[in-house]
Amino acid sequence: MKKGLLFGLLATAAGAAYLLSKAANKKEEEKTIITLSSDEEEPPVQPMNEDSAETPESEMAQEEPAEEEPQYSREVQEINLMYPYLKPAFISASLKEQLDFDQNYPEGSLITIYHDIRFPAVEDLITFVRIIKEHDYQINEADGDQSLTISKDLIVEKGKILSDILNVSNQVCCLNGQYHAYRLEAK
């Protein structure tokens, strides 16, 4: 059943790419810290690309818990329907990164995208590894604490980077894992 869910989500990637391309036209200049985990004890994760310098944890912005649930755009709500395991805040922050992707990685260029993830349960980790291997991802690092770094080479198309981030993070959350960060490397 979980495998079928992944295939269904991947099938909606074309629709997501359309919605994401609409988001790329909106100009957002501020960098956003993207968090996914529902555990409040974990620090927020800063997506890193090859041009970004690492920011010390003391300088990372900590978001205060909101008293009221923020209202998200219709676009975020529509994407959230396709990626039901992701928080709207994560989707919204990811959409803001789309402009950076378009500026730093032109269409037709070759990149490698890395995803840092962790699974508390070994069974979920094994299921995830089976799924990603079917979709041409490579396991770059595997730690004894069920942490993985996976990667995949992509030829950049409009919305493809963001779609990959949303697909992988949604699948990780579907299997009760924690999506920590992504990073991009131009080839």
Lowest mean pLDDT among 14-18, 91-95, 108-112: 14-18
Percent of the chain with pLDDT over 90: 57
- Check: CB of residue 116 under 8 Å from CB of residue 182: yes
6-50 pLDDT, tens digit each: 334 333 443 444 344 444 444 333 333 344 444 433 333 444 444
Higher confidence at residue 66 or residue 123?
A: 123
Which of 16-30, 55-69, 85-99 has the highest average model confidence (pLDDT)? 85-99
Q: What is the pLDDT of residue 69?
A: 62
48-57 pLDDT, tens digit each: 444 443 333 3
Residue 141 — pLDDT band, cuts 50, 70, 90? Answer: confident
What is the rounded average pLDDT for all residues in the chain?
75
User: Taking residues 124-148, what's their average pLDDT?
Assistant: 91
Full-prediction pTM beyond 0.95?
no
What are the residues whose beta carbons fall under 8 Å from the beta carbon of 118, sequence distance 6 or more? 145, 146, 147, 148, 177, 178, 180
Q: What is the pLDDT of residue 68?
A: 62
Question: Other CB atoms closer than 10 Å to residue 73's CB: what's the count?
Answer: 14
Question: Other CB atoms closer than 10 Å to residue 104's CB: what's the count?
Answer: 16
